Amino acid sequence: MKDKKSILGKITASREASLMIVLIILCFVIQMRNSSFLTPSSIGEMLKNNAVIMVMTLGMLNVLLLGGIDISIASTLALSGMSVGMLIKRGIVTNTFLCFMIAILIGAVCGAIVGLTISKGRVLPIIATMGFMYIFRGAAYMVSSDEWAGADALGSFKDFALNSVLGINNIIWIVIVCYAIFFIVMKWTKVGRMVYAVGSNREATMISGIRADRVEFFVYLIMGILSGLAGAMAVTVYASAQPNMMYAKEMDVIAACVIGGVSTTGGRGSVGGALIGALIIAIIAKALPLVGIDAIAQNTVKGLIILVVIVLNVVTQRTMDKNVLKGREM
């Protein structure tokens, strides 16, 4: 039966391929309605505006692969972004590279604290990250001392998002590099496979000698590092640092993963899927005004799309399971 599988069958069997088709149809329909959608500058602008979500999606992919969840990431982002913003505003650090390093360091510290609480303290991820969501967001306000850093205060740092190398914006380069690294790490290295192993069956991996709690710590650390990086990116892309920046955007990140076929119970999902999920989220946000849906209805449509995707997911999974059983009966 296997060699008779048609091309169509192969495509529907792979989640990434079917998602890719959804993405292409989506692009095609929007292009039909509005021809300014698929131009290089429009796509570049869209990627730049969603770079923050796309980078954090990679970290969330890892967290979800372990069966965890992290809703503190937007707060981590605000803390690191706000710290960088204030450092520049006060003129303490002006070097762009150094700013990025500081943001990543702050993110790493946040991630390490979350990781320790979850892996060593055995606190449920949703509870721990809910607590840290309050704590880091509050810390961002404390750092800001009720001020914010505007475009004029950010000096040369905001130019980073305006400059480009080889015709591609710096911010998009960061996204490309992150995705390339994660694609290789998750697919072909020991660490990446360990994440999948722990997510699929924690007990079995522990018995086979993998330190599951270390993998868990590592995953939240990575999530923190990426959120820190995203914090610096958000400051340069939007040319402002406010303590309430990207409030509740962790939901967009989780939504991108879920649309990309990452299972929230762990063990299933891929970097490719996460990329497509993030792109679909980006395209929806970009396209709704283009096809004439009011900006005010965007959230509702976004929520509906998430709901439809996850329900479709279950329905296809059920029919797939049924077909497998049919094959056995024969």
The site for other proteins (CB under 8 A) is made up of 69, 117, 121-124, 126-128, 130-135, 137-139, 141-142, 243, 248, 251, 254-255, 258, 264-265, 294, 296-304, 306-307, 310-311, 314-315, 317
The helix/strand/coil state of 282 is helix
Of 28 and 134, which has the nearer Cβ to other proteins? Answer: 134
- Work out how close the CB of 214 gets to other proteins at its nearest, in angstroms, rounded to a whole number: 17
Q: Which amino acid, 73?
A: I
- Work out how close the CB of 46 gets to other proteins at its nearest, in angstroms, rounded to a whole number: 20
Write the CB contacts of 115 (distance below 8 Å, at least 6 apart in sequence): 216, 217, 218, 219, 220, 221, 224
Strand partners, 241: 149
Contact, 33 vs 291, CB < 8 A? yes
- Work out how close the CB of 290 gets to other proteins at its nearest, in angstroms, rounded to a whole number: 19
- Work out how close the CB of 174 gets to other proteins at its nearest, in angstroms, rounded to a whole number: 27
- Work out how close the CB of 284 gets to other proteins at its nearest, in angstroms, rounded to a whole number: 12
DSSP alpha helix (H) spans, 73-169: 73-89, 96-119, 125-144, 151-154
Contact, 224 vs 291, CB < 8 A? no
Of 52 and 255, which has the nearer Cβ to other proteins? Answer: 255
Of 44 and 138, which has the nearer Cβ to other proteins? Answer: 138
Of 78 and 276, which has the nearer Cβ to other proteins? Answer: 78
Structure tokens at 122: 């055995």
CA dist 250 and 230 (Å) reads 12
Of 98 and 127, which has the nearer Cβ to other proteins? Answer: 127
b/e sequence 220-259, b meaning 16+ C-beta within 10 Å: bbbbbbbbbbbbbbbbbbbbbbbbebbeebbebbbbbbbb
Of 191 and 308, which has the nearer Cβ to other proteins? Answer: 308
DSSP-derived letter for residue 156 is G
- Work out how close the CB of 200 gets to other proteins at its nearest, in angstroms, rounded to a whole number: 16
